[in-house]
Protein backbone atom coordinates (compact mmCIF):
# COMPACT_ATOMS: atom_id res chain seq x y z
CA UNK A 1 0.00 0.00 0.00
CA UNK A 2 1.43 3.37 -0.98
CA UNK A 3 1.68 6.14 1.62
CA UNK A 4 1.55 9.89 1.12
CA UNK A 5 4.56 11.99 1.97
CA UNK A 6 4.00 14.97 4.26
CA UNK A 7 4.53 17.30 1.30
CA UNK A 8 2.02 15.57 -0.95
CA UNK A 9 -0.52 15.30 1.87
CA UNK A 10 -0.22 19.02 2.51
CA UNK A 11 -0.56 19.76 -1.19
CA UNK A 12 -3.78 17.73 -1.36
CA UNK A 13 -5.12 19.44 1.76
CA UNK A 14 -4.35 22.90 0.37
CA UNK A 15 -6.04 21.93 -2.86
CA UNK A 16 -9.07 20.81 -0.92
CA UNK A 17 -9.15 24.08 0.98
CA UNK A 18 -9.07 25.99 -2.30
CA UNK A 19 -12.01 23.95 -3.58
CA UNK A 20 -13.89 24.56 -0.32
CA UNK A 21 -13.71 28.31 -0.89
CA UNK A 22 -15.99 27.86 -3.93
CA UNK A 23 -18.86 26.48 -1.84
CA UNK A 24 -21.90 28.69 -1.17
CA UNK A 25 -21.31 28.47 2.59
CA UNK A 26 -17.70 29.67 2.29
CA UNK A 27 -18.43 33.03 3.96
CA UNK A 28 -20.31 31.53 6.89
CA UNK A 29 -18.46 32.17 10.18
CA UNK A 30 -18.59 28.48 11.15
CA UNK A 31 -17.18 27.46 7.79
CA UNK A 32 -14.39 30.02 8.08
CA UNK A 33 -13.50 28.91 11.60
CA UNK A 34 -13.44 25.28 10.42
CA UNK A 35 -10.98 26.15 7.67
CA UNK A 36 -8.81 28.06 10.15
CA UNK A 37 -8.73 25.08 12.51
CA UNK A 38 -7.84 22.79 9.62
CA UNK A 39 -4.88 25.01 8.78
CA UNK A 40 -3.74 24.88 12.40
CA UNK A 41 -3.91 21.09 12.41
CA UNK A 42 -1.93 20.87 9.18
CA UNK A 43 0.77 23.09 10.63
CA UNK A 44 1.34 20.92 13.70
CA UNK A 45 4.81 19.46 14.13
CA UNK A 46 5.72 16.97 16.87
CA UNK A 47 8.12 18.18 19.54
CA UNK A 48 10.70 15.45 20.09
CA UNK A 49 12.95 17.32 22.51
CA UNK A 50 13.75 15.67 25.80
CA UNK A 51 11.44 17.16 28.44
CA UNK A 52 13.37 19.19 30.98
CA UNK A 53 10.27 19.74 33.09
CA UNK A 54 7.05 17.76 33.45
CA UNK A 55 3.82 18.99 35.05
CA UNK A 56 0.93 16.59 35.61
CA UNK A 57 -2.27 18.47 36.43
CA UNK A 58 -5.19 16.39 37.73
CA UNK A 59 -8.66 17.77 38.31
CA UNK A 60 -10.11 15.14 40.60
CA UNK A 61 -13.54 14.06 39.36
CA UNK A 62 -13.47 16.28 36.28
CA UNK A 63 -14.50 13.77 33.64
CA UNK A 64 -15.85 14.75 30.24
CA UNK A 65 -19.28 15.63 31.67
CA UNK A 66 -18.00 17.75 34.55
CA UNK A 67 -15.56 19.40 32.16
CA UNK A 68 -18.48 20.25 29.84
CA UNK A 69 -20.39 21.84 32.72
CA UNK A 70 -17.31 23.81 33.76
CA UNK A 71 -16.74 25.06 30.20
CA UNK A 72 -20.28 26.40 30.01
CA UNK A 73 -20.03 27.95 33.46
CA UNK A 74 -16.78 29.77 32.66
CA UNK A 75 -18.09 31.00 29.32
CA UNK A 76 -21.39 32.16 30.77
CA UNK A 77 -19.57 34.02 33.54
CA UNK A 78 -17.88 36.02 30.78
CA UNK A 79 -21.18 36.84 29.13
CA UNK A 80 -21.26 34.20 26.39
CA UNK A 81 -23.52 31.25 25.72
CA UNK A 82 -20.85 29.02 27.24
CA UNK A 83 -20.58 26.24 24.68
CA UNK A 84 -18.17 28.20 22.51
CA UNK A 85 -15.81 28.95 25.42
CA UNK A 86 -12.34 27.37 25.39
CA UNK A 87 -10.71 26.48 28.71
CA UNK A 88 -6.90 26.86 28.76
CA UNK A 89 -6.26 23.11 28.58
CA UNK A 90 -8.75 22.75 25.73
CA UNK A 91 -6.42 24.85 23.58
CA UNK A 92 -3.62 22.31 23.99
CA UNK A 93 -2.79 20.62 20.68
CA UNK A 94 -3.02 16.97 21.77
CA UNK A 95 -5.89 15.00 23.23
CA UNK A 96 -6.71 11.45 24.30
CA UNK A 97 -9.53 9.64 26.04
CA UNK A 98 -8.41 7.75 29.13
CA UNK A 99 -9.86 4.51 30.57
CA UNK A 100 -9.91 4.85 34.35
CA UNK A 101 -10.98 1.49 35.86
CA UNK A 102 -8.97 -0.17 38.63
CA UNK A 103 -8.03 -3.86 38.34
CA UNK A 104 -10.83 -4.82 40.74
CA UNK A 105 -13.23 -1.92 40.18
CA UNK A 106 -15.24 -0.95 37.13
CA UNK A 107 -15.86 2.33 38.93
CA UNK A 108 -12.44 3.52 40.12
CA UNK A 109 -11.22 5.27 43.23
CA UNK A 110 -8.49 7.90 43.37
CA UNK A 111 -5.90 5.68 45.05
CA UNK A 112 -5.87 3.22 42.18
CA UNK A 113 -6.06 5.93 39.53
CA UNK A 114 -3.31 7.97 41.17
CA UNK A 115 -1.02 4.94 41.24
CA UNK A 116 -1.78 4.28 37.57
CA UNK A 117 -0.74 7.78 36.49
CA UNK A 118 2.21 8.06 38.85
CA UNK A 119 3.69 4.54 38.65
CA UNK A 120 2.61 3.12 35.30
CA UNK A 121 0.55 0.17 36.55
CA UNK A 122 -3.11 -0.37 37.24
CA UNK A 123 -3.83 -1.61 40.74
CA UNK A 124 -6.71 -2.16 43.15
CA UNK A 125 -9.00 0.49 44.56
CA UNK A 126 -7.97 1.95 47.89
CA UNK A 127 -4.24 1.19 47.80
CA UNK A 128 -1.39 3.53 46.86
CA UNK A 129 2.09 2.94 45.45
CA UNK A 130 1.68 -0.83 45.40
CA UNK A 131 0.65 -3.46 42.87
CA UNK A 132 -2.48 -5.60 42.73
CA UNK A 133 -0.93 -8.37 44.86
CA UNK A 134 -1.63 -6.27 47.95
CA UNK A 135 -4.85 -6.93 49.83
CA UNK A 136 -6.39 -3.71 51.04
CA UNK A 137 -5.79 -3.18 54.74
CA UNK A 138 -3.46 -6.17 55.10
CA UNK A 139 -0.02 -4.83 56.02
CA UNK A 140 1.55 -8.28 55.67
CA UNK A 141 1.01 -8.13 51.89
CA UNK A 142 3.07 -4.96 51.42
CA UNK A 143 6.67 -6.33 51.27
CA UNK A 144 7.81 -7.02 47.72
CA UNK A 145 4.81 -5.31 46.15
CA UNK A 146 5.75 -1.61 46.19
CA UNK A 147 6.29 0.40 43.00
CA UNK A 148 8.28 3.55 42.17
CA UNK A 149 6.54 6.86 41.48
CA UNK A 150 7.36 9.61 39.00
CA UNK A 151 8.62 11.76 41.86
CA UNK A 152 11.08 9.06 42.86
CA UNK A 153 12.30 8.53 39.29
CA UNK A 154 12.62 12.23 38.54
CA UNK A 155 14.46 12.83 41.82
CA UNK A 156 16.89 10.03 40.96
CA UNK A 157 17.53 11.84 37.67
CA UNK A 158 18.56 14.94 39.62
CA UNK A 159 15.29 16.82 39.16
CA UNK A 160 13.44 18.65 41.92
CA UNK A 161 9.85 17.53 42.56
CA UNK A 162 6.73 18.85 44.22
CA UNK A 163 3.04 18.28 44.89
CA UNK A 164 0.21 20.78 45.22
CA UNK A 165 -3.41 19.97 46.07
CA UNK A 166 -6.55 21.58 47.42
CA UNK A 167 -7.32 18.28 49.16
CA UNK A 168 -5.41 16.98 52.16
CA UNK A 169 -1.81 16.56 51.04
CA UNK A 170 -2.06 13.02 52.44
CA UNK A 171 -5.17 12.27 50.34
CA UNK A 172 -5.10 9.61 47.64
CA UNK A 173 -3.95 11.56 44.58
CA UNK A 174 -1.14 13.63 46.13
CA UNK A 175 -0.06 10.62 48.22
CA UNK A 176 0.51 8.68 45.00
CA UNK A 177 3.59 10.88 44.53
CA UNK A 178 5.42 9.52 47.56
CA UNK A 179 3.48 6.92 49.62
CA UNK A 180 3.33 3.13 49.66
CA UNK A 181 0.34 2.01 51.68
CA UNK A 182 -2.07 -0.91 51.86
CA UNK A 183 -4.89 1.51 52.66
CA UNK A 184 -5.42 5.11 51.57
CA UNK A 185 -7.01 5.84 54.95
CA UNK A 186 -3.75 5.34 56.89
CA UNK A 187 -3.13 9.08 56.72
CA UNK A 188 -2.13 9.75 60.35
CA UNK A 189 -1.69 6.27 61.82
CA UNK A 190 -1.52 2.57 60.99
CA UNK A 191 -3.30 -0.26 62.82
CA UNK A 192 -1.64 -1.93 65.78
CA UNK A 193 0.70 -4.65 64.56
CA UNK A 194 1.26 -3.06 61.15
CA UNK A 195 5.04 -2.93 61.10
CA UNK A 196 5.64 -2.95 57.34
CA UNK A 197 4.78 0.70 56.73
CA UNK A 198 4.40 4.06 58.42
CA UNK A 199 1.43 6.39 58.06
CA UNK A 200 1.14 8.57 54.96
CA UNK A 201 1.95 11.88 56.68
CA UNK A 202 5.17 10.41 58.08
CA UNK A 203 6.05 9.10 54.62
CA UNK A 204 5.71 12.63 53.23
CA UNK A 205 8.08 14.08 55.81
CA UNK A 206 10.57 11.29 55.12
CA UNK A 207 10.28 11.96 51.39
CA UNK A 208 11.12 15.60 52.10
CA UNK A 209 13.99 14.55 54.36
CA UNK A 210 15.48 12.43 51.57
CA UNK A 211 15.23 15.32 49.12
CA UNK A 212 12.72 13.50 46.95
CA UNK A 213 9.93 16.03 47.64
CA UNK A 214 10.94 19.70 47.75
CA UNK A 215 7.53 21.38 47.78
CA UNK A 216 4.29 20.07 49.31
CA UNK A 217 1.26 22.34 49.66
CA UNK A 218 -2.37 21.54 50.42
CA UNK A 219 -4.64 20.78 53.36
CA UNK A 220 -4.50 18.06 56.00
CA UNK A 221 -2.75 19.71 58.95
CA UNK A 222 -4.61 17.41 61.36
CA UNK A 223 -2.55 14.45 60.15
CA UNK A 224 0.72 16.11 61.16
CA UNK A 225 0.09 16.72 64.88
CA UNK A 226 -1.68 15.29 67.91
CA UNK A 227 -2.70 18.50 69.63
CA UNK A 228 -6.31 19.69 69.77
CA UNK A 229 -7.94 18.86 66.43
CA UNK A 230 -5.06 16.59 65.40
CA UNK A 231 -5.23 12.94 64.45
CA UNK A 232 -1.75 11.72 65.41
CA UNK A 233 -1.49 9.36 68.37
CA UNK A 234 2.30 8.97 68.48
CA UNK A 235 3.04 12.32 70.09
CA UNK A 236 5.09 13.50 67.11
CA UNK A 237 4.51 16.95 65.63
CA UNK A 238 5.62 16.50 62.03
CA UNK A 239 5.36 20.23 61.33
CA UNK A 240 7.97 20.86 64.01
CA UNK A 241 10.11 18.11 62.47
CA UNK A 242 9.85 19.71 59.04
CA UNK A 243 10.94 23.08 60.39
CA UNK A 244 13.60 22.10 62.91
CA UNK A 245 15.16 19.09 61.18
CA UNK A 246 14.52 19.77 57.49
CA UNK A 247 14.76 23.56 57.51
CA UNK A 248 11.39 23.78 55.76
CA UNK A 249 9.28 26.90 55.52
CA UNK A 250 5.85 26.15 57.03
CA UNK A 251 2.93 28.07 55.51
CA UNK A 252 -0.47 27.85 57.20
CA UNK A 253 -2.36 30.93 55.97
CA UNK A 254 -2.27 33.61 53.28
CA UNK A 255 0.32 35.71 55.08
CA UNK A 256 2.78 32.88 55.65
CA UNK A 257 2.20 31.73 52.08
CA UNK A 258 3.06 35.19 50.76
CA UNK A 259 6.25 35.08 52.83
CA UNK A 260 7.31 31.73 51.36
CA UNK A 261 10.91 31.87 50.11
CA UNK A 262 11.11 30.74 46.49
CA UNK A 263 14.86 30.17 46.60
CA UNK A 264 15.01 26.39 46.94
CA UNK A 265 14.10 26.22 50.64
CA UNK A 266 11.88 23.17 51.30
CA UNK A 267 8.23 24.22 51.51
CA UNK A 268 5.45 22.58 53.53
CA UNK A 269 2.08 24.30 53.17
CA UNK A 270 -0.80 23.04 55.35
CA UNK A 271 -3.65 25.54 55.06
CA UNK A 272 -6.57 23.67 56.65
CA UNK A 273 -7.07 20.94 59.21
CA UNK A 274 -8.71 18.79 56.53
CA UNK A 275 -9.25 19.79 52.90
CA UNK A 276 -8.73 23.35 51.73
CA UNK A 277 -11.82 25.49 51.23
CA UNK A 278 -13.91 25.38 48.11
CA UNK A 279 -12.97 28.23 45.79
CA UNK A 280 -16.41 29.79 46.32
CA UNK A 281 -15.75 30.02 50.07
CA UNK A 282 -11.97 30.61 50.08
CA UNK A 283 -10.51 33.10 52.52
CA UNK A 284 -7.10 33.52 54.17
CA UNK A 285 -5.52 30.82 52.05
CA UNK A 286 -3.97 30.77 48.56
CA UNK A 287 -5.77 29.71 45.41
CA UNK A 288 -4.67 26.68 43.43
CA UNK A 289 -3.19 29.03 40.83
CA UNK A 290 -1.25 30.84 43.56
CA UNK A 291 0.20 27.59 44.89
CA UNK A 292 0.98 26.30 41.40
CA UNK A 293 2.85 29.45 40.48
CA UNK A 294 4.83 29.45 43.73
CA UNK A 295 5.70 25.76 43.39
CA UNK A 296 6.97 26.20 39.83
CA UNK A 297 9.10 29.19 40.77
CA UNK A 298 10.53 27.41 43.81
CA UNK A 299 11.35 24.28 41.82
CA UNK A 300 12.87 26.31 38.99
CA UNK A 301 15.08 28.20 41.46
CA UNK A 302 16.43 25.00 42.97
CA UNK A 303 16.63 22.79 39.89
CA UNK A 304 18.67 25.04 37.61
CA UNK A 305 19.43 23.17 34.40
CA UNK A 306 18.23 19.81 35.77
CA UNK A 307 14.52 20.55 35.57
CA UNK A 308 11.60 19.55 37.76
CA UNK A 309 8.47 17.41 38.09
CA UNK A 310 5.27 18.75 39.63
CA UNK A 311 1.92 17.12 40.32
CA UNK A 312 -0.99 19.54 40.76
CA UNK A 313 -4.43 18.41 41.94
CA UNK A 314 -7.76 20.22 42.16
CA UNK A 315 -9.13 17.90 44.81
CA UNK A 316 -12.37 19.65 45.62
CA UNK A 317 -14.05 19.36 42.23
CA UNK A 318 -14.51 15.76 43.32
CA UNK A 319 -15.87 16.67 46.74
CA UNK A 320 -18.45 19.12 45.39
CA UNK A 321 -19.66 16.44 42.97
CA UNK A 322 -19.89 13.98 45.86
CA UNK A 323 -22.05 16.55 47.62
CA UNK A 324 -24.32 16.92 44.58
CA UNK A 325 -23.40 20.61 44.51
CA UNK A 326 -22.49 21.42 40.91
CA UNK A 327 -22.22 25.15 41.65
CA UNK A 328 -19.10 24.60 43.75
CA UNK A 329 -17.70 21.92 41.44
CA UNK A 330 -17.58 24.23 38.42
CA UNK A 331 -16.09 27.08 40.44
CA UNK A 332 -13.29 24.83 41.64
CA UNK A 333 -12.74 23.64 38.08
CA UNK A 334 -12.46 27.27 36.94
CA UNK A 335 -9.80 27.75 39.63
CA UNK A 336 -8.03 24.66 38.26
CA UNK A 337 -8.13 26.08 34.73
CA UNK A 338 -6.57 29.27 36.10
CA UNK A 339 -3.77 27.12 37.53
CA UNK A 340 -3.29 25.50 34.12
CA UNK A 341 -2.93 28.95 32.58
CA UNK A 342 -0.31 29.91 35.18
CA UNK A 343 1.67 26.71 34.61
CA UNK A 344 1.64 27.33 30.87
CA UNK A 345 2.67 30.97 31.30
CA UNK A 346 5.63 30.17 33.58
CA UNK A 347 7.10 27.45 31.36
CA UNK A 348 8.30 26.98 27.79
CA UNK A 349 6.61 24.55 25.38
CA UNK A 350 10.02 23.73 23.96
CA UNK A 351 11.19 21.97 27.12
CA UNK A 352 8.14 21.44 29.35
CA UNK A 353 5.56 18.68 28.97
CA UNK A 354 2.22 19.58 30.55
CA UNK A 355 -0.50 16.93 30.78
CA UNK A 356 -3.92 17.96 32.07
CA UNK A 357 -6.35 15.21 32.96
CA UNK A 358 -8.75 13.81 35.57
CA UNK A 359 -8.63 10.64 37.61
CA UNK A 360 -12.29 9.70 37.11
CA UNK A 361 -15.75 11.07 36.38
CA UNK A 362 -18.93 11.32 38.50
CA UNK A 363 -22.54 10.27 38.02
CA UNK A 364 -23.39 13.62 36.44
CA UNK A 365 -25.84 13.73 33.54
CA UNK A 366 -27.48 16.37 31.33
CA UNK A 367 -31.06 16.95 30.25
CA UNK A 368 -32.45 18.24 26.97
CA UNK A 369 -33.55 19.87 24.88
CA UNK A 370 -32.11 23.14 26.16
CA UNK A 371 -31.75 26.33 24.15
CA UNK A 372 -28.41 28.15 23.80
CA UNK A 373 -27.42 30.07 26.89
CA UNK A 374 -29.47 28.05 29.36
CA UNK A 375 -27.59 28.54 32.64
CA UNK A 376 -25.61 25.34 33.18
CA UNK A 377 -26.61 25.51 36.85
CA UNK A 378 -30.19 26.54 36.15
CA UNK A 379 -33.33 25.45 34.31
CA UNK A 380 -33.40 23.95 30.84
CA UNK A 381 -34.94 26.73 28.72
CA UNK A 382 -36.65 26.13 25.39
CA UNK A 383 -35.02 26.34 21.97
CA UNK A 384 -35.98 29.39 19.90
CA UNK A 385 -36.70 28.34 16.33
CA UNK A 386 -36.42 31.93 15.12
CA UNK A 387 -33.23 32.98 16.90
CA UNK A 388 -30.13 31.79 18.74
CA UNK A 389 -30.67 32.46 22.45
CA UNK A 390 -33.14 30.35 24.42
CA UNK A 391 -36.78 31.40 24.75
CA UNK A 392 -36.65 32.11 28.48
CA UNK A 393 -39.45 29.60 29.01
CA UNK A 394 -38.42 26.42 30.88
CA UNK A 395 -38.97 23.00 29.40
CA UNK A 396 -41.37 20.87 31.44
CA UNK A 397 -41.39 17.22 32.39
CA UNK A 398 -44.41 14.94 32.22
CA UNK A 399 -45.16 16.11 35.78
CA UNK A 400 -45.57 19.62 34.39
CA UNK A 401 -42.56 20.89 36.36
CA UNK A 402 -39.36 22.49 35.06
CA UNK A 403 -36.05 20.69 35.37
CA UNK A 404 -32.39 21.70 35.48
CA UNK A 405 -29.84 21.32 32.69
CA UNK A 406 -27.72 19.06 34.91
CA UNK A 407 -28.51 16.42 37.50
CA UNK A 408 -26.98 13.41 39.19
CA UNK A 409 -27.96 9.77 38.91
CA UNK A 410 -27.52 9.40 42.67
CA UNK A 411 -26.72 11.56 45.67
CA UNK A 412 -27.96 13.75 48.48
CA UNK A 413 -30.29 15.65 46.16
CA UNK A 414 -32.45 12.59 45.50
CA UNK A 415 -36.13 13.30 44.96
CA UNK A 416 -36.84 10.15 46.97
CA UNK A 417 -37.01 10.52 50.75
CA UNK A 418 -37.13 7.83 53.40
CA UNK A 419 -40.50 7.27 55.04
CA UNK A 420 -41.18 6.22 58.63
CA UNK A 421 -41.50 2.57 57.59
CA UNK A 422 -38.12 2.62 55.82
CA UNK A 423 -39.54 2.80 52.32
CA UNK A 424 -38.73 5.58 49.89
CA UNK A 425 -41.19 7.84 48.14
CA UNK A 426 -41.04 11.19 46.51
CA UNK A 427 -42.07 13.61 43.82
CA UNK A 428 -39.95 16.32 42.25
CA UNK A 429 -40.36 19.70 43.92
CA UNK A 430 -41.23 22.67 41.72
CA UNK A 431 -38.13 24.62 40.78
CA UNK A 432 -37.35 28.24 40.02
CA UNK A 433 -34.28 29.63 38.24
CA UNK A 434 -33.34 31.51 41.40
CA UNK A 435 -33.42 28.38 43.55
CA UNK A 436 -31.57 26.24 41.00
CA UNK A 437 -28.71 28.72 40.60
CA UNK A 438 -28.15 29.27 44.32
CA UNK A 439 -24.61 28.39 45.41
CA UNK A 440 -25.86 25.82 47.93
CA UNK A 441 -28.40 24.13 45.65
CA UNK A 442 -28.10 20.36 45.30
CA UNK A 443 -28.98 19.10 41.84
CA UNK A 444 -31.89 16.70 41.71
CA UNK A 445 -30.83 13.06 41.77
CA UNK A 446 -32.54 9.71 41.39
CA UNK A 447 -31.01 7.11 43.72
CA UNK A 448 -30.79 8.35 47.32
CA UNK A 449 -27.25 8.27 48.69
CA UNK A 450 -25.58 10.41 51.33
CA UNK A 451 -22.59 10.87 49.00
CA UNK A 452 -22.85 10.82 45.21
CA UNK A 453 -20.55 8.28 43.56
CA UNK A 454 -17.79 8.23 41.00
CA UNK A 455 -18.58 6.75 37.60
CA UNK A 456 -16.48 4.67 35.28
CA UNK A 457 -16.58 6.48 31.95
CA UNK A 458 -13.51 7.83 30.20
CA UNK A 459 -11.84 11.13 31.03
CA UNK A 460 -9.88 13.42 28.74
CA UNK A 461 -6.14 14.11 28.75
CA UNK A 462 -4.81 17.29 27.13
CA UNK A 463 -1.10 17.73 26.44
CA UNK A 464 1.48 20.14 25.06
CA UNK A 465 5.27 20.20 24.94
CA UNK A 466 7.86 17.48 24.27
CA UNK A 467 6.31 14.17 23.18
CA UNK A 468 2.82 15.46 23.85
CA UNK A 469 1.74 13.92 20.54
CA UNK A 470 1.92 10.53 22.28
CA UNK A 471 -1.22 11.56 24.17
CA UNK A 472 -3.49 10.31 21.43
CA UNK A 473 -6.40 7.96 20.83
CA UNK A 474 -8.01 5.96 23.62
CA UNK A 475 -5.46 4.91 26.22
CA UNK A 476 -5.25 3.09 29.53
CA UNK A 477 -4.68 5.47 32.42
CA UNK A 478 -1.29 4.00 33.31
CA UNK A 479 -0.04 5.06 29.85
CA UNK A 480 0.22 8.63 31.18
CA UNK A 481 3.18 7.56 33.33
CA UNK A 482 4.91 5.89 30.38
CA UNK A 483 4.55 9.01 28.22
CA UNK A 484 5.97 11.23 30.97
CA UNK A 485 8.85 8.87 31.70
CA UNK A 486 9.70 8.53 28.01
CA UNK A 487 9.60 12.29 27.48
CA UNK A 488 12.04 12.79 30.37
CA UNK A 489 14.51 10.20 29.11
CA UNK A 490 14.19 10.35 25.31
CA UNK A 491 17.47 10.59 23.42
Is 155 part of the annotated catalytic residue set? no
Residue 173 assigned as binding residue? yes
> Can you give the pLDDT at residue 276?
98
Q: Tell me if 362 is assigned to a ligand binding site.
A: no
| Domains of the chain with CATH codes | 51-362+453-487 (3.40.720.10), 365-446 (no CATH)
Catalytic residue from among 59, 70, 110, 165: 110
Helix axes 110-119, 479-489, angle to 10 degrees: 30
Q: How many C-beta neighbours within 10 Å does residue 155 have?
A: 21
> Binding residue per annotation — 454?
yes
Q: What are the 10-residue block averages of pLDDT along the chain, 491 residues in total?
A: 47 59 93 95 96 98 98 98 98 98 98 98 98 98 98 98 98 98 98 98 98 98 97 96 98 98 97 98 98 98 96 98 98 98 98 98 98 98 97 97 98 93 91 98 97 98 98 98 98 89
Q: pTM of this prediction? A: 0.95
Q: How many whole angstroms separate alpha carbon 286 and alpha carbon 276? A: 9
225 is in an annotated binding site: no
359 carries a ligand binding annotation: yes
Burial class (CB in 10 A: 0-12, 13-18, 19+), 398: exposed
C-beta atoms surrounding 327 within 10 Å: 20
Distance of CA 130 to the CA centre of its chain: 22
Going by the DSSP 8-state scheme, the letter that residue 176 receives in this structure is: T
List, for residues 248-306, the tens digit of each pLDDT value: 999 999 999 999 999 999 999 999 999 999 999 999 999 999 999 999 999 999 999 99
Pairing of strands 459-464, 352-357: antiparallel
The answer to whether the bond into 369 is cis (omega within 30° of 0) is yes
Q: What per-residue confidence (pLDDT) applies to 18?
A: 58
Radius of gyration of the chain (CA): 24
Amino acid sequence: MKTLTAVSALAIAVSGMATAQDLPQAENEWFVSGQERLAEELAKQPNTNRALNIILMISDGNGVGTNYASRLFAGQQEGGFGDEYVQPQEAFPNLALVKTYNVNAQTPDSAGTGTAMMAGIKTKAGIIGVNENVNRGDCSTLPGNTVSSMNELMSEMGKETGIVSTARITHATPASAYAKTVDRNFEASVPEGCDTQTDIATQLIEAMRSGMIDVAMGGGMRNFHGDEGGRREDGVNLMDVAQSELGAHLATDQASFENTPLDGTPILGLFESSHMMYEADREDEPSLADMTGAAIQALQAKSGDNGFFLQVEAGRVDHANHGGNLARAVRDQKAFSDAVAIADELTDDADTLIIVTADHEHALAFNGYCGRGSDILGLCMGIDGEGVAHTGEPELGADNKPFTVAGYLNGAGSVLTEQADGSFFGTRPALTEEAATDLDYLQQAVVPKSSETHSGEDVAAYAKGPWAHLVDGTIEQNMIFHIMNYAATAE
